[in-house]
Structure 1
Amino acid sequence: MSAHPAPPATRPEAPRASSLVQRWARDLRMGAKFAFTGGREGWTRVLLTAVGVGLGVALLLLTTALPTALSVRHERDQARSDYTYSQKIKPKADNTLVISDINTTFGDKDIRGRLVEPEGPRAPLAPGLSSYPAPGDMVVSPALKKLLDSDDGRLLRGRLPYRVTGTISESGLIGSQELAYYAGAEGLAPHINGWQTARISEYGSPHRTPERQDPVLILLVLVVFVVLLMPVAVFITAAVRFGGDRRDRRLAALRLVGSDSRMTRRIAAGEALAGALLGLVFGAVFFLLGREAAGSVEIVGISVFPSYLNPSPALAALVAVAVPAAAVLVTLLALRGVVIEPLGVVRTAKPTRRRLWWRLLLPVAGLAMLAPMMGKGRGDGDFNQYLVSGGVILLLIGVTALLPWIVEAVVARLGRGSVSWQLAVRRLQLNSGTAARTVNGISVAVAGAIALQMLFAGIEGDYTKVSKNDLDRAQIQVQLSHGVATDPALAKFRQTPGVRKAVALANARVGSTTAASPDGPKQSSEVTIGDCAALREVAALSSCRDGDVFAVQGAKYDTDTPALAKPGKKLYMDTSQGMEAPHEVRWTVPRGLKKVRAITDPTGMEHGGFLLTRGALPAAAGQPSAQVYVSIDASVHDVHEYVRNTAADVDRFADVMVWTASQQSEKFTSIRTGLLVGATCVLALIGASLLVSQLEQLRERRKLLSALVAFGTRRRTLSLSVLWQTAVPIALGLLLSLAVGLTLGAVLLKMTATALSIDWPSVLTMTGMGAGIALAVAVLSLPPLLRMMRPEGLRTE
């Protein structure tokens, strides 16, 4: 007889694994069925969970869509770029376009403006346009058209004297609320200067070497994303536990009909899974509604079109898988400490005391991950993004782990007080976990916000440049283009409402030889032109009258003036600018030359060379480009708009700059703006989550509240007890947030090699915002609380 081979040892395990999967699937399916067929009680819990999870999912989807939206904005901006970054003027052809940058500002909004003059039938067409407007006409963005048609746009209409003939389509704009226009013009070619007016044959940025990424800014972006997403994740885990007490009492009935404890837990996980899956649907709906609404709002100067907000498929799939999985996992972990017996739930007995040691491991591990990068700053290369993300996540998760222990430890020692205080304390002593879960999201958000504010405040000086402009002498600078008559322009500025003083300084250069000579000017010097009042802004003049010429002494880096400032010497004066062809005239140094001492002008610079009053300027020199320095009365409403309108009236190419005490890096400012936008959304979510959680807790205690009222308890006492139940955990959570936020902020500052300092106003502001949200939620929950305290709430079926 032949021997049969022994079966593999692993074969008996296969049925076990298969049956385990089948049991899990059956029990999860049964739990989902109970969730949707459990009557009004079951439906209410599922809807609460679904709404809570849906809000979190919507924000997660929005977050996953943000990188795509920012990328699309950048691509649209690059596609319409008209800067050449070239020192050569392109020759005129049938495929060229002359375009001028005439951006302006209205209030606090920037307006992108372009003058266009096609030079042939094949001139490149700007994105978003079907054709260029004729001279005197303009096409505008929908937002600008709305502004011009409104009463608020009255002053702006005077600055844009063009007839609106069309609108720019979405492909030519970076946001739905962007203010932009293209205006048709003539005679632009003579103004080509390389920085404002150029001749192009195509749109789009030329290839340039990518800039080196700043590791500190990358660190900022990483921390911002982690801080904004952590409260959302915390809230979703709390939302799947809504109605947990009532659910556990319902599960006791299952034990009575024969299910074991494991089966009961799997059924409970199935209920949570059903709520999470419905929450995914709600989240998709909320996201789509928010996506459409995003096209009509602007947050901190940022707007998008709905089509921009398309989540990455991979990240959206991750959210769709992670949220239901988290719901099952959180439910199973929550039921570990609950004994569900056939005759009830053992939860009212004093629970085992929470252990502290493992809760402290989370923040310690987070600090350990961040420690290797301390002191690197900018000098030692990039920060490890995985260590940064992991360390910050563990520190913030530490808040959620420590808060239940702190709440339990504190409320256990609370006692004496008013009746409302004792009712609140006793409730917290019986079930402090629910109270801690309610405020976990806001605690994490505040801790992260405090850390970020410390980091922003600490490194702000590295990305902020203090202006040298003297704001006591002028507040607005207007650059006029070549050929604009200065005296009539000054007269109009001085007649502008709110203008106290206006002076103009024009610039030219003189050389010992012409610029066309083989070696160029062997010696050259600066020439500053203005009336006597303007020249006194750059030099100490004892006397001055029209026709005088001065030679400046003592100016830094001015070495050629002493050799050139010889009466009777023949020089060549060039009044051209930028890429213009030299416009040179012969000029003889006059015999009555006066020597003066240089002082700094309103921009903080010293002018060397020669100072010429207008009467001393050769007639053939024309009108050099001038800078007008305007001093204003800030108390006059819309004074900036009046000055901008005057500038546009005297010179369509005028560039108006409103001076500020400091200027900030655009990248740093954009990251801070992104934080404000994200924080606004997260705070709105936190407020909604707290309100939903508060209403869910009140619903569970409806019969208890009605019974207390029926026995004569005053509504005022019960209302105060509910407020105390909210206030105590919130106060403890904010104190913990303060400690963790300051610790994380100090670590981040050490990582960036920045001196440790605490921006207390910002820290207290963040803490106050958290307390304000909690107070608002408590006030909003009072009306439903009063309705639940009616004796009719004792009725049951």
Structure 2
Amino acid sequence: MTNWLQDLAFGFRLAFTGHRPWGRLVVTSLGIALGVVVLLGAASVPNIHSARIERENMRDPVAAADAPGVGVLVANTPAVQFGDRFIQGLQLQDLRPDAPVAPGLTRNPAPGEAVVSPALQKLLQSPEGELLRPRLPAEITGVIGQDGLVGMKELFYYAGTDSLSPRSHQVNGVSERFGESTTVEAELDGHLQLVLALGVAVLLVPIVVYVAATARLAEAARQRRLAAMRLVGATGTQVRRMAAGESMAGAVLGVALGWVLFELVKPAVDGISMGEYSLFSSYVRPVWWLAALVTIGLPALAALVTIGALRRGIAEPLQVTRRATARPRKLLWRVVPVVTGMAGLVFIGLDGISGQPALQLFIASVVLVLAGVPLVLPWCVERFAGRLGGGGSTAWQLAVRRLQLTSGTAARAVSAIAVVVTGVIALQTLLATVIASEPSRAPGPEASAGGRMTIMGGLPEDPAAVPTAVRELQALPGVLDARVNDSSIQASDGEYSSWTVRVVDCAQIRELAPVPDCADGDVFAAVPDQRVDHLAGATLHLIDSYYGATSRPTRDQLATWSVPSTVRPVGILPDGGRELLVTPAAAGGLADLARQVSIDAELAPSVAPDVVERVRNIAAAHLIEPTTSNAMGSPRAVPELEREAAMTAVQVVLLTGALAVFALIGCSVFVSAAEQIQERRRPMAVLGAVGVPRRTMAWSLLLQNAVPMLVATALAAVTGLLLGVLVVLVSSKGPVVVDVPGMLGLFAFAAASVLVVTVLTLPAATRAAAPEGLRTE
């Protein structure tokens, strides 16, 4: 053990004291440092998720409203839609002077007061926020502290009130303090979990491959130094230990630099948001055992890769001798990880993914497929280069011969890029399929221009509220017409599962169904079998009604309504449901019980964008919990929009991260190309001395970089498409959709990296090809 430590320490010291070590050391350390930043960010995801859930639970009490010692009533308020954003809020009502204070506040707001988040305050103070202010329930008196928010960009408020009823099912009570509720972890959408798991694998596996390749930078120069050590009596085992220590030096320095960069980058998280999703930098804390694995594992990986690379070679005095003659690479063992991973995905697809074990098997299968790509790539490059003919231009012959001699080095330089392309193609295929399988989404406010906008809400106590709202809408510039559509409520009669009861006049009934005659007082039933006798005088139980926040009954206290004795059948309505069409005279007290109204507003063809917000303001002023939609779609719920925002955030972050990793690995390709030029100074100087034009050598360099990249992208395209198809099979999202523009963009990025690397290495190649290079040798 002592000899091991001594040899490692000597190699560690050699990394800082060798011949011109700093350039190689800086490149190695910087590459590993950037990889450490990505890995630590991934290791923080579990803590980020837990921190968000904890913050949400801190302000979401669930104690019974009539529990002894209750100090404050808390009720969720309907989300306020403003453009494509939603503002959430909580109503607070103190029941005693020492009532518990909500998170982020020094005192609960009094009735008529509201305390808002910093992001909401900024929005309200902007010119855009003038249209939002009328929909908030009270006067703004303060700003919520960080302890009461889930994210820096969250739009949230607390509002004080004195109108909550302890018997309302909307109200949750807090006995002692906020944050005592049982932690309920919000489960991510199943397809979002797959996208996130695939994306994390796409980001992390290339980083590990990149670190392994970085550990072998300047391998030829290292072997020359180790051969000199053999001259003074070092054994082959000692030489490998010293090489491992030298690699560990760059890895240790890179890990330390990565931690520093990680801490410097963390504050930038506070300014990042994706739709409704934002974080605090304090959430970004790596899980301790994952952080330890990154900190200890990367230097160990660098040492193991170096030892493995030297096992086939013996550093002899002033030269390097291979243990055996070069033999063609075997394919069988190289495809085992890929085949095993794909078999695992097929198994999951047949059995269905459910629960953590299946998700863990999914991640392991994807990692096996991605990790198998660098193993198969050297065989592909060797076979492809071996089949290239010797004819053609001088540049082509030079490039082909060099690839045939050093196919392993060429494949290693682009192996991480092949992994990135494979993963991103699979990720693009999954995202394109998921997006294509989603139902058509409701257009935003701008899409409502020139169409019909529908407002649905509960009826207030004031009978003049709806006519007033209609008049104000008709007077609004940009609104051509506004009229009450109908009042409706869901009901059950005990025989059939449900009915929709609509209070409409005869003109509206004629638009809905072909009736021979209609008079105020009639009742029509739309049923497939035309049987309506059982409905005459039946008692309907009204469900899912609008009663208002202060008087809504529980489900065991549902209101009832008796159907009139005469009911006439009509044909099936366009929506195909069971409906009762009740004229106002026959409705009796039904309209008061239903307390729901629908108003249609016709918008002008070219309407200003703020008209939709003004329509919502009028609805909020006169109706209870209004929602708006347009003729092209229905209103979306907050969870659905949050899911879409999360999917968009994951898509943007993962693809951006993949391209960033792509660019990072492109730097290693440049370093590898520069190292090869350094190793070939003498042959290139000989070529220059015998008259080979430098332009020919420049083309040769381009081809040497382009051919391995071409093989890598071809292998990545095939493997990525197969992986994407299998992942879609796991997700059960229907027909596979291939993102062809995205794939072409990746290929263009790869081609650009070849050109950039070639241009950057041309000066070094020109100097190496000068005849003076022979004298320097």
Whether TM exceeds 0.5 here: the answer is: yes
Question: Is 1:230 aligned to 2:201, yes or no?
Answer: no
Paired position in structure 2 for 1:7: none
Counterpart CA distance in 2 for 1:161 and 1:780 is 58
For residues 237-287 of structure 1, the C-alpha deviation after alignment (integer angstroms, 9 at most, x for no partner) is 112222223333333333344433332222221111000101110111122
Counterpart CA distance in 1 for 2:321 and 2:617 is 76
One of 446, 467, 476 as aligned partner of 1:487: 467
One of 463, 487, 494 as aligned partner of 1:506: 487
For residues 384-404 of structure 1, the C-alpha deviation after alignment (integer angstroms, 9 at most, x for no partner) is 566544443332222110101
One of 6, 9, 12 as aligned partner of 1:32: 12
Residue 49 of structure 1, CA deviation: 0.9
Single out whichever of 438-447 and 703-712 deviates more from structure 2.
Answer: 703-712
Counterpart CA distance in 2 for 1:366 and 1:150 is 53
One of 279, 289, 310 as aligned partner of 1:314: 289
Taking the TM superposition and a 5 Å limit, the aligned residue runs for 1:611-650 are 611-613=582-584, 621=592, 624-629=595-600, 636=607, 638=609, 640-650=612-622
Taking the TM superposition and a 5 Å limit, the aligned residue runs for 1:245-394 are 245-299=220-274, 301-345=276-320, 351-367=326-342, 373=348, 375-377=350-352, 387-394=361-368
Residue 476 of structure 1, CA deviation: 5.0
Counterpart CA distance in 1 for 2:623 and 2:744 is 49
Counterpart CA distance in 1 for 2:524 and 2:661 is 64
Q: Which runs of 5+ in 1 are unaligned?
A: 1-20, 513-519
For residues 280-334 of structure 1, the C-alpha deviation after alignment (integer angstroms, 9 at most, x for no partner) is 1011112212222112112465322111111111111112221111101101112
Question: Is 1:97 aligned to 2:73, yes or no?
Answer: yes
Q: Is the 8 A contact 2:466 2:622 kept in 1?
A: no
For residues 32-54 of structure 1, the C-alpha deviation after alignment (integer angstroms, 9 at most, x for no partner) is 11211225x31111111111111
Q: Is the 8 A contact 1:446 1:737 kept in 2?
A: yes
Counterpart CA distance in 2 for 1:612 and 1:360 is 73
Paired position in structure 2 for 1:12: none
One of 679, 689, 710 as aligned partner of 1:731: 710
Counterpart CA distance in 1 for 2:238 and 2:174 is 72
From the superposition, tell whether residues 713 and 260 of structure 1 become closer, same or farther in structure 2 (CA, over 3 Å).
Answer: same
Paired position in structure 2 for 1:404: 378
Q: Is the 8 A contact 1:90 1:199 kept in 2?
A: no
Paired position in structure 2 for 1:59: 38
Paired position in structure 1 for 2:26: 47
From the superposition, tell whether residues 71 and 253 of structure 1 become closer, same or farther in structure 2 (CA, over 3 Å).
Answer: same
Counterpart residue identity of residue 395, structure 1? V
From the superposition, tell whether residues 757 and 327 of structure 1 become closer, same or farther in structure 2 (CA, over 3 Å).
Answer: same
From the superposition, tell whether residues 541 and 366 of structure 1 become closer, same or farther in structure 2 (CA, over 3 Å).
Answer: same
Residue 430 of structure 1, CA deviation: 3.6
Counterpart CA distance in 1 for 2:531 and 2:98 is 50
> SS at the partner of 1:701?
helix
Counterpart residue identity of residue 760, structure 1? V
Residue 558 of structure 1, CA deviation: 10
One of 47, 50, 54 as aligned partner of 1:75: 54
Q: Is the 8 A contact 2:114 2:142 kept in 1?
A: yes
Q: Is the 8 A contact 2:115 2:144 kept in 1?
A: yes
From the superposition, tell whether residues 375 and 623 of structure 1 become closer, same or farther in structure 2 (CA, over 3 Å).
Answer: closer
Counterpart CA distance in 1 for 2:543 and 2:138 is 38
For residues 632-690 of structure 1, the C-alpha deviation after alignment (integer angstroms, 9 at most, x for no partner) is 57865636544434433444733345735999697798578546534432431231222
Taking the TM superposition and a 5 Å limit, the aligned residue runs for 1:299-698 are 299=274, 301-345=276-320, 351-367=326-342, 373=348, 375-377=350-352, 387-414=361-388, 415-417=390-392, 421-452=396-427, 454=429, 476-483=454-461, 485-496=465-476, 499=479, 502=482, 503-507=484-488, 527-530=501-504, 538-540=512-514, 548-555=520-527, 563-564=535-536, 577=547, 580=552, 597=571, 599-600=573-574, 604=575, 606=577, 608-613=579-584, 621=592, 624-629=595-600, 636=607, 638=609, 640-651=612-623, 653-656=625-628, 659=633, 670=646, 674=650, 676-698=652-674
Root mean square deviation of aligned Cα: 5.0
Counterpart CA distance in 2 for 1:209 and 1:167 is 27
Q: Is the 8 A contact 2:274 2:645 kept in 1?
A: no
Residue 104 of structure 1, CA deviation: 2.5
From the superposition, tell whether residues 132 and 356 of structure 1 become closer, same or farther in structure 2 (CA, over 3 Å).
Answer: same
Counterpart residue identity of residue 547, structure 2? Q
Q: Is the 8 A contact 1:531 1:614 kept in 2?
A: no
From the superposition, tell whether residues 466 and 791 of structure 1 become closer, same or farther in structure 2 (CA, over 3 Å).
Answer: closer
Q: Is the 8 A contact 2:451 2:604 kept in 1?
A: no
Question: Is 1:142 aligned to 2:118, yes or no?
Answer: yes
From the superposition, tell whether residues 288 and 98 of structure 1 become closer, same or farther in structure 2 (CA, over 3 Å).
Answer: closer
Residue 457 of structure 1, CA deviation: 6.5
Paired position in structure 1 for 2:145: 169
From the superposition, tell whether residues 154 and 32 of structure 1 become closer, same or farther in structure 2 (CA, over 3 Å).
Answer: farther
Percent of counterpart pairs with the same letter?
33
Counterpart CA distance in 2 for 1:362 and 1:210 is 34
Q: Is the 8 A contact 1:490 1:504 kept in 2?
A: no
From the superposition, tell whether residues 625 and 211 of structure 1 become closer, same or farther in structure 2 (CA, over 3 Å).
Answer: same
Counterpart residue identity of residue 78, structure 1? N
Counterpart residue identity of residue 486, structure 2? L
Counterpart CA distance in 1 for 2:454 and 2:408 is 59
Residue 229 of structure 1, CA deviation: 2.4
> SS at the partner of 2:278?
coil
Single out whichever of 697-706 and 549-558 deviates more from structure 2.
Answer: 697-706
Residue 456 of structure 1, CA deviation: 6.1
From the superposition, tell whether residues 574 and 715 of structure 1 become closer, same or farther in structure 2 (CA, over 3 Å).
Answer: closer
Q: Is the 8 A contact 1:538 1:598 kept in 2?
A: no
Paired position in structure 2 for 1:16: none
Q: Which runs of 5+ in 2 are unaligned?
A: none
Question: Is 1:125 aligned to 2:98, yes or no?
Answer: no
Question: Is 1:758 aligned to 2:736, yes or no?
Answer: yes
From the superposition, tell whether residues 91 and 537 of structure 1 become closer, same or farther in structure 2 (CA, over 3 Å).
Answer: farther
From the superposition, tell whether residues 395 and 249 of structure 1 become closer, same or farther in structure 2 (CA, over 3 Å).
Answer: same
Counterpart CA distance in 1 for 2:259 and 2:187 is 38
From the superposition, tell whether residues 73 and 506 of structure 1 become closer, same or farther in structure 2 (CA, over 3 Å).
Answer: same
> SS at the partner of 1:375?
helix
For residues 695-754 of structure 1, the C-alpha deviation after alignment (integer angstroms, 9 at most, x for no partner) is 4533652695996899998787666555444433232222212322333345455667x5
From the superposition, tell whether residues 466 and 766 of structure 1 become closer, same or farther in structure 2 (CA, over 3 Å).
Answer: closer
From the superposition, tell whether residues 236 and 536 of structure 1 become closer, same or farther in structure 2 (CA, over 3 Å).
Answer: farther
